[in-house]
Amino acid sequence: MHRDFPTGPGLGSLGIPIRTPAMLTSILSKRSRRAAFTLVELLVVIAIIGVLVGLLLPAVQQAREAARRTQCLNNLRQLSVAAQNFAEAHGAFPIGSEFKLWPADPSHPKNYYRWSVWAHLTPYLDQAGIYESLNLEVPLYSSSTSVSPENSTTVGAVFSVFLCPSDRGVPVADLLGFTGSTFGPVNYAASTGTGLVENGGAFDTDGLFYINSATRFGDITDGTSKTIAFSESLLGSDPAPSGRQDPRTVYATMYSAPLSEGGCAAPGGYNISDPRGFSWANGEYRCALYNHFYPPNHTELDCLGFWVSGGERQYTGWGWRTARSRHPGGVNASFADGSTRFINDSIDFDLWRGLSTRSGNEIVSEFRGSESGRESQLATATSFDHCLFPWDVEAYRRDGSLILREVFEPGEIASLRADAVSLAARREVRSTTWG
């Protein structure tokens, strides 16, 4: 039982309010209730947080993808520098894929050697130990499905420099005959050129790399800064049991070679017999080779086939396999001079093919694209249908006069005007753009 405090006139006359303990408890209780959130206020706060997360999450994802794309470019730069170092040491770029007689068994298919450009570049990628553990004197495959036993451990190694951080980065195929073992996957591939030679063939193509290639710097008459050496692809996955297949991870298979567009449109199967990118050691179109027959990130399936007509080419792979990536809007590529660029999916198709040849005689102006993917412009006069110059579009009139936009230094104008007259004398050139 509470006892009230005295309430004499002395305290009241001083203006001091008198509070009993019961009254104080009631006041504190009310104040406590007023300090708490109501359900409506709580829902409003949750809604605001949700909106902020919705706004920030895409920005965070974009920043992460930008970082991954930059790392992918760095990987390609390392590969190109390694290839240059190899060329300086050996007088030529490394082989695209090996095809030769095995002295221990002359009847063994020559295609089973198949060692890739990446296998030969390992000592130039700070992987001398891996190179020493590889026995490149024996075929990669001792049979149609089994890797040579002495190489089974090494070809299962996984290297970050062979993997784009925007992709899955995990093995996608088992080493048959070796329980629990897998192939080391690869996202990067060497360019064989346009894909027009023998309709997807890999012999004596018009690119830098092909079967038994030994391309020298002097062979690249188009210019090392205008010839793509390497680009990227995606690791494969199992095909869908029915319906449309995913062109990013599944390829169509023809049980014949050379390829035909009709045969690729009605393939005999998908992913025969391993998914794309399954092995960095394997120098064929499924893994370490690609070409520019299709545009980058083509919406239709890549198409691969193999020679079954007998002779020394037996089981050799053919392919129309383009560059693919998970980077929004395009693919990364590195050039023969070691530079790297992001190339938009919207690139002019003739230009895309022209960049793949080592000596196609396409006239290409200075390439000044940015590694961050900023719009780059390139001049090509393959058929004199379009001509672009760095950072702005410059159009030639029929009479050969040049429409200038104050992009070039004064000293460059005379040379460009002379080029314009020369081109206009042969055919009108109109301007266009590429990404």
Q: Report pLDDT for 58.
A: 76
How many angstroms separate the CA atoms of 161 and 422, rounded?
45
How many angstroms separate the CA atoms of 209 and 288, rounded?
10
Length of the chain: 435
Helix (H) or strand (E) holding 270: strand 269-270
- Say which residue the tokens 């992460």 belong to: 64
How many angstroms separate the CA atoms of 289 and 232, rounded?
10
- Say which residue the tokens 């992009």 belong to: 407
Q: Which residues, other chains included, contact 300 with Cβ-Cβ below 8 Å and sequence gap of 6+?
A: 247, 294
Q: Give the Cβ contact number of residue 77 at 10 Å.
A: 17
178: alpha, beta or left? (left if phi > 0; alpha if psi -120 to 50)? beta
Helix (H) or strand (E) holding 178: none
Half-sphere exposure of 6 (CA within 13 A, CB side): 4
Q: Give the Cβ contact number of residue 216 at 10 Å.
A: 12
Which tokens belong to 227? 């010839």
Q: Report pLDDT for 72.
A: 97
HEC string of 23-52 equals: HHHHHHHHHHHHHCCCHHHHHHHHHHHHHH
Contact, 4 vs 20, CB < 8 A? yes
Q: Which of 89, 141, 73 is nearest to 110 (CA)?
A: 141
The pTM assigned to this predicted structure is 0.74
- Say which residue the tokens 């009230």 belong to: 4
Q: Report pLDDT for 27.
A: 60
Q: Report pLDDT for 369.
A: 42
Q: Give the Cβ contact number of residue 231 at 10 Å.
A: 27
Tell me the pLDDT tens digit for each residue of 69-91. Answer: 999 999 999 999 999 999 999 99
Q: Which residues face 380 on adjacent strands?
A: 364
Q: Report pLDDT for 13.
A: 53
Contact, 229 vs 78, CB < 8 A? no
Which tokens belong to 192? 């064989």
Q: What burial class does residue 344 get, using C-beta atoms within 10 Å of its C-beta: 0-12 exposed, 13-18 middle, 19+ buried?
A: middle
How many angstroms separate the CA atoms of 356 and 354, rounded?
5
The three-point CA angle 418-380-356 to 5° equals: 145
pLDDT in tens, the chain (435 residues): 555 545 555 545 555 555 666 665 666 565 555 556 788 888 888 888 888 888 777 777 778 888 999 999 999 999 999 999 999 999 999 999 999 999 999 999 999 999 999 999 999 999 999 999 999 999 999 987 899 999 999 999 999 999 999 999 999 999 987 888 999 999 999 999 999 999 999 999 999 999 999 999 999 999 999 999 999 999 999 999 989 999 999 999 999 999 999 999 999 999 988 999 999 999 999 999 999 999 999 999 999 999 998 999 999 999 999 999 999 999 999 999 999 999 999 999 999 999 999 999 876 654 444 443 333 333 333 322 333 333 333 443 344 444 333 333 444 444 444 544 444 444 333 333 333
CA 205 to each of CA 208, 218, 313: distance values in angstroms, whole numbers, following the listed order? 8, 16, 15
